[in-house]
Structure 1
Amino acid sequence: MMLGRRQPAVLIAALTAGALVLTACGGGGNNPANNLQGKVNANDINVKPASELKDGGDFRWPVSELSTQFNYSHINGTLADSARIMEALIPSMFKADAQGVLSENKDYVESAKLTSTDPQIIEYKLNPKAVWQNGTQLSWKDFDAQFKARSGANKAFVTSSTTGYEDIEKVEKGATEQDVKVTMKKKFGDWRTLFAMLYPASTNTDPKVFNDGWKEKPLDSAGPFKFDSVDRGAKILTLVPNDKWWGEKPKLSKIIYRQISVDSQAQAFAANDIDFIDIGPSVSTFQQVVPVQGAVVRKALAPDFRHITFNGAKGSILEDSKVRLAIQKAVDRTTIAKSQVGAIIPDAKPLNNHIYVEGLKDYKDQAQLVAFNKDQAAKELDELGWKLEGATRKKDGKELVIRDVIPTAVETSANEAKQVQQMLAAIGVKVDIQTVPSELFFKEYVYKNNFDITHFAWIGTPTPTSSKGSIYRLDPVAVNQNYGRIGNDTINKLMTDANAELDDVKRAELANKADEEIWKTGHSLLLYQRPNAIGIKSNIANYGAFGFADYEYEKIGFVK
């Protein structure tokens, strides 16, 4: 998914002041009026050549949660903070540029191409220099093991998504151990996203190791950095340069990931305890960062977005799609967008497509079904039998009360929840805001369907038709990332057909048809595209607002 963007199979869920993002060139600046106009298909990372950077230095990286699952392929491993650690260690065959265009990652592949379209065959020629930590070369066996672990065939592997892998028929050895032949049983249009975050065969063959082996620490590396230490008491994890790395030598001596609650990160940045802060959609954080001496704010347009997930599971108070849609019409998304991020992006407006974001050429505004109209919302709830009795609606003696579960210390979620609470109160829908510990938010609430509505950010990808399948397809058994359990066969088929379409134009048409159907179900209410705004020390190069691009960890450094 790029920084987290090169991963195709799933999106990354993030609960930080606004989540996390990525890629490419530029100067930056701390002018509060600085907006994202002109930033489309660009990034702002203070690009500098290695010759202008110091050798060494500790890069202090804040995380909202120090992961307890470093296997990105596991259902609990897709948090943004976890991905930002593992992307420094784990190979991906392609990488994205500022336009979101994927190209071969030459550190890992000499070539990767389609050699047949019917059947679809992909052949990889691996870089013979690419090795795991024990010196073992990357080989076709790593590809084969990851395919089998993530295909869904063996339910013992608790995988985050089977997208793409379930369409593979077989993985074979080519002329050498470093020649990989992948034959698809179904066509997969976003094939370049396969084997992003490639884990070693040694940890992908045993379900117990797959599910539990990566919980305490990263077990292996074939990236520019390697795991050094973790101190759970101090809540610090450290990476150091990988002595087996064959690519461009990293400039940093260490990357130090430090767990700091989201509401304390701005203070830590101002006190010079960390080197950057992901501002995201937090206006108060933005205002605290702007005056910090020696700091700049770097911005780019990125595929990340805030949303409200609705719980439509059987027995939920929002099980009826008509109730969900009526309620969504009572939420003024324009007001939320402008109030939440207007100080950062003066032209802030709602996001109106579940598949594509603004900045991608296939984006279409398709949100007319939930256009703000509180009178219509009230009328529809009346027709559904939810009649106003006093301040709250009731049906068959039951109050229409929605439990909005949000994490502690995330100002953005709190602000959004309060606004939604006020807006829905105007039509007689009561919202109880339940604030839960951030470290339990995903594990005990989101993943377990323990909410009526909830707010967090998705970190997007430049290949959204495949990456979003795990969110919008409804599987009768596996949850994947459809945490609200909402969907239907029409959406499943459109997403599956889009994934199988090798023609870019036709794939986009199918994906946009799927988006139309997703709106009809009341699956989730999109709020706004999340600003990729990073407060960072001005002497740091090759890091900042990455936009649609991938991180290049070995290039991060301090200017001489």
Structure 2
Amino acid sequence: MRNLNRIGGAAAIAAALALTACGSGGSTGPETAKGQEAGSDLSKLISINEKPAADLEQGGKVTLPLGNIGPDFNGFSNNGNSADNSALQIPMNPVAMNSGGIGGCWKVDFVGKVTANPDFCESVDSEVKDGKQTITIKVNPKATYNDGTPIDVKAFQNTWNILKSPDNGYDIVSSGAYQFVESVEAGSSDKEVIVKTTQPVYPVDSLFFGLIHPAVNSPEVFNEGFNGNMHPEWMAGPFKLDQYDPAAKTVTMVPNDKWWGNKPVLANVTFRQLESSAQIAAFKNGEIDAVSANTITPYKQLEGTKDADIRRGQRLFAGGMNINAQKITDVAVRKAIFAAVDREALRKVRFNGLNWEEPSSGSMMLLPFSEYYQDNYPVKETGPDAAKKALTDAGYAPNANGIMEKDGKPAAFKISNFGDDPTTLAFTQTLQKQLQAGGMDVGIDQRASADFGKVIGGRDFDMSVSGYTVGPDATDAVKQYYDSKTNENQLGDAELDKKIADLASIEDNAERNKAAMEVEKEHMAKYFSMGVVMNGPQISFVRTGLANYGPSLFQSLSQVPDWTTLGWEKK
């Protein structure tokens, strides 16, 4: 599953790439200033100050910022599906995380290779016979939720029952491959799980990348029960919730004495909800230990900060134009939006001063360095005239104010912009002007960073400057974004839905991803709902001495590859 993410420079997600100028506090990692392409050395995109846990000070505290904390803490639901929510919960609840490098039965390395996570699933074996698949999972005997409930077949059954269909009343993001699961039963014990499918499912890790506690057993609990309540008793991880202060917007966690895996180095982790400008001040004052600086304003304000390293890599992000087709219902208007946008000009605004270049990306699902990537952007001729032609061809004509309208209804909407970063606002204003030049009446709906989850999850926007995290395989993303029964825009058709269902049974990775990319190409050309303006760098200012934190590619969207090894170098 892909997490929603805003474009603003303070989003606590994924990685970052490079500048030539560095703060006086020093720089670690690569001096990369360009997006990587297929076949490139991905180690250039990793910068974490890697140290063995045994070489670090035992104990200590780390404080990190988030753009928003809550109010819905269910990461499997549309309202809780945000990158910040994942970043917040991964230290406490990796058993349930469905993105971010670790989740349930699986863990991901830097380059995207997926293996079983022995903390929860000691082994996962798949066998296909007579066109049907049997998956055998051996669950760690010690794996137990904080409330004492064993992590066993009941958790797997509950996860399947909730996620297998969007028609059962659960506000799920996507049913993924769970629709192809026929049964989930106990094997020799409740700690051996036997999964049978109606057709082979690939990749196998598209199943049970995150488990849902058996107590979350009704649409009411799933949809409403996590509003303002994290339910730490239903979690399992190396840290546990110590305090959630909704008034102060802080979450504090400490080592979990019930955790059976590697013990964390740190004695305390605190997350604080802060707007972009407040994050900069807090880092300079020593109140937080890391901050993203993905636009020139925070970078220049942070440059020269004492006791700070700059760590750079690739941001796992795709987006810029997130269109709500339930509000902008006319496909001709959506096509005109795609045609009006000058993506190169927008990237120049976004990356101004960062010495960062990248080609126009044309996929929501894969980054250009993926061997499976292809450019699926649906409009080749762009500019104001191209946008007006798309509208004219659909029966629009300019009114007395020069706005294109049809049947007395103008092509009018607002762009939602989140946070107070000046570069992000300049990006939105430039986008606004491009759309206005294309004959559309476009305003800006300015929102606080803290409103992001509520606004996007509740579909309370026309068009948003936001996007999604990007994984190493397109199989899950193609269903989440383009299946008519699961995508939030409810756009698609039976022919595309069948292609999506069929591709999940293709074992060969290259062939399956090619099929997914072809679906995206066709969907984009028909429906025009999400457009990629950029991927971009992640530039992180990190307190000197903090080890195992920073741009981590696919191993961690929260920039922490392993929460048990995050800590401070010995002085």
TM-score computed with the length of structure 2 as normaliser: 0.88
Residues 74 and 398 of structure 1, relative CA distance in 2, 3 Å threshold: closer
- Which residue of structure 1 lines up, in the alignment, with residue 196 of structure 2? 183
Using the alignment, how far apart are the partners of 1:90 and 1:214 within structure 2? Answer: 17
- Which residue of structure 2 lines up, in the alignment, with residue 373 of structure 1? 383
- Which residue of structure 2 lines up, in the alignment, with residue 332 of structure 1? 342
Shift of 1:412: 5.2
- Which residue of structure 1 lines up, in the alignment, with residue 219 of structure 2? 207
- Which residue of structure 2 lines up, in the alignment, with residue 271 of structure 1? 285
SS of alignment partner, residue 329 of structure 1:
helix
SS of alignment partner, residue 356 of structure 2:
coil
Residues 417 and 298 of structure 1, relative CA distance in 2, 3 Å threshold: same
SS of alignment partner, residue 554 of structure 2:
coil
1:457 to 446, 456, 467: 467
SS of alignment partner, residue 27 of structure 2:
coil
Using the alignment, how far apart are the partners of 1:164 and 1:23 within structure 2? Answer: 28
Shift of 1:376: 2.5
1:80 to 80, 83, 95: 83
Contact 1:16–1:64 at 8 Å: present in 2 too? Answer: no
Shift of 1:446: 2.9
SS of alignment partner, residue 500 of structure 1:
coil
Residues 28 and 96 of structure 1, relative CA distance in 2, 3 Å threshold: farther
Measured against aligned partners, the alpha-carbon deviations of 1:402-459 in whole angstroms (never above 9, x if no partner) come to 222223435454222201111122232221111134434442x433443332111312
Residues 241 and 435 of structure 1, relative CA distance in 2, 3 Å threshold: same
Shift of 1:123: 0.9
SS of alignment partner, residue 260 of structure 2:
coil
Contact 2:124–2:136 at 8 Å: present in 1 too? Answer: yes
Amino acid at match of 1:96: V
Shift of 1:74: 2.1
SS of alignment partner, residue 358 of structure 1:
coil
Using the alignment, how far apart are the partners of 2:169 and 2:447 within structure 1? Answer: 30
- Check if 1:298 corresponds to 2:301: no
- Which residue of structure 2 lines up, in the alignment, with residue 423 of structure 1? 434
Measured against aligned partners, the alpha-carbon deviations of 1:91-146 in whole angstroms (never above 9, x if no partner) come to 22111111111111122222112123531121111121222223443211111111
Instruction: Provide structure 2 residue ranges, at least 5 long, that are not aligned to the other structure.
Output: 17-24, 96-103
- Residues 19-98 of structure 1: matches in 2 within 5 Å? 19-22=11-14, 29=27, 34-36=32-34, 40-41=42-43, 42-88=45-91, 89-91=93-95, 92-98=104-110
- Which residue of structure 2 lines up, in the alignment, with residue 157 of structure 1? 170
- Which residue of structure 1 lines up, in the alignment, with residue 413 of structure 2? 402
- Which residue of structure 2 lines up, in the alignment, with residue 542 of structure 1? 548
Shift of 1:218: 3.3
- Check if 1:235 corresponds to 2:238: no
2:502 to 497, 504, 529: 497
What RMSD in Å do the two structures reach over aligned CA positions?
A: 2.6
Residues 310 and 214 of structure 1, relative CA distance in 2, 3 Å threshold: closer
Using the alignment, how far apart are the partners of 2:357 and 2:417 within structure 1? Answer: 27
- Which residue of structure 2 lines up, in the alignment, with residue 323 of structure 1? 333
- Check if 1:531 corresponds to 2:537: yes
Using the alignment, how far apart are the partners of 1:206 and 1:17 within structure 2? Answer: 37
Using the alignment, how far apart are the partners of 1:338 and 1:107 within structure 2? Answer: 44
Q: Which moved more, 1:452-461 or 1:214-223?
A: 214-223
Contact 1:532–1:547 at 8 Å: present in 2 too? Answer: no
Q: Which moved more, 1:376-385 or 1:519-528?
A: 376-385
- Check if 1:383 corresponds to 2:396: no
- Check if 1:244 corresponds to 2:258: yes
Residues 328 and 14 of structure 1, relative CA distance in 2, 3 Å threshold: closer
Measured against aligned partners, the alpha-carbon deviations of 1:329-367 in whole angstroms (never above 9, x if no partner) come to 121001111220243352133221132212221011232
Q: Aligned residue pairs: how many?
A: 540
Percent identity of equivalent pairs? 26
Using the alignment, how far apart are the partners of 2:59 and 2:337 within structure 1? Answer: 54
Contact 1:19–1:278 at 8 Å: present in 2 too? Answer: yes
Contact 1:235–1:259 at 8 Å: present in 2 too? Answer: yes
Q: Which moved more, 1:39-48 or 1:103-112?
A: 39-48
Contact 1:350–1:527 at 8 Å: present in 2 too? Answer: yes
1:121 to 100, 110, 134: 134
Residues 39 and 56 of structure 1, relative CA distance in 2, 3 Å threshold: farther
